[in-house]
Structure formats: C-alpha cells, structure tokens
Amino acid sequence: MAEDTTTPAPHSHADLSLIKRIIPHRYPFLFIDKVRDIVPHESGVGIKMVTNNEPHFQGHFPDEPIMPGVTIVEAMAQTSAVVVGVSMNIIDQPMATYFMGIDKCKFRRMVVPGDVLELHCKAIRGGGKIWKFEGKAIVDGQLCASAEFTAMMARKTDG
C-alpha cells in the first residue's frame, strides 16, 4: 500500500483551545469563543457569547449593559488574527497582532448580554506580515457594526 502523502485538511474551525494557541489574548481581553467557517487566506466567522458577567458591563453601563463598540471591533480583529494564524500555520508560535488602522467604522445596533455575536471577517489584502480585513458584527441577522481594519503580525521579542 502506498504511503499517504496528502496534506492534512486545514482547520475549518477553531475552538477556544486553538484560539489560545494562535493569539495571546486572555481574560478579560479575549472577546471570541470560537471561529467557524475558516477559509484560509479568505475569511472566517467568530462567535462571541455575550454574557452579563463580563467586566466592562460594570461600568458600561450599570443600569443598561451595552457591549462597548471598541470591544466589538477588537472581537473582529481577534477573529481575523485567528484566520491569519490558520492561514500562515503560526499555531504555537510567539506571534503578536498589532492594529495599524481602523476605517469606515459604523455602529448600527446595540449588543447586550444574551446576544450571540457573529463576527464575519473577510480578507481584503494579506498573505504576509500586514493584512487588511473587512468585518461585520451581526446579531440575529441584524448588522450591529462594520469596519475595515489593518493589522500587522510580528514575532514577539523578549523584552
């Protein structure tokens, strides 16, 4: 029988364990629970289960908890970083992702505890150290936020 020399199928999803092997974010600044429908070099959909237990709701706002817009954009960026990590096979590598720019950012609907936030991210440009994505945050089929953002992947250095 011939030896199987086919390349294993790329990750089409990332659970929390794999996410932590790709990006350095941890509680309280990890804003995605999983990433599904990953198409390397193209796209992925992050999932964030929004709960009342998150620390930002204590101050934003105590009587009307609303997920801050900047954390929604950060969740899109984290989703995109996982897509890049899978695409470039940088799992278990000492890499960091740094924002370089945010453009065309708009907020349309509040995100509140109990929502399941879907973060649809699509690569506009990428393949090397610098990637540009467009992202859409959706709850129950409704657009909550959208943005284009650019980030750089860089090897972590010892301080």
pLDDT: is 135 or 11 the higher one?
Answer: 135
Query: Is the separation of the CB atoms in 119 and 135 below 8 Å?
Result: yes
Query: Is the separation of the CB atoms in 87 and 109 below 8 Å?
Result: no
Give residue 154's pLDDT: 85
Least confident of 32-41, 67-76, 88-97, 137-146: 88-97
pLDDT value at 4 more than 80: no
**Burial category of 19 from C-beta neighbours within 10 Å (exposed 0-12, middle 13-18, buried 19 and up):** buried
Mean pLDDT (the chain) is: 91
pLDDT value at 7 more than 70: no
**Burial category of 84 from C-beta neighbours within 10 Å (exposed 0-12, middle 13-18, buried 19 and up):** buried
Give residue 153's pLDDT: 86
Q: Tell me, yes or no, if 56 is annotated catalytic.
A: no
Give residue 10's pLDDT: 62
pLDDT value at 114 more than 80: yes
Give residue 149's pLDDT: 97
Q: Give residue-wise pLDDT tens across range 8-18.
A: 446 899 999 99
Give residue 97's pLDDT: 85
Q: Give residue-wise pLDDT tens across range 63-111.
A: 999 999 999 999 999 999 999 999 999 999 988 889 999 999 999 999 9
Which listed residue (13, 41, 56, 60) is catalytic?
Answer: 60
Give residue 158's pLDDT: 52
Residue ranges and CATH numbers for the domains of the chain are: 16-155 (3.10.129.10)
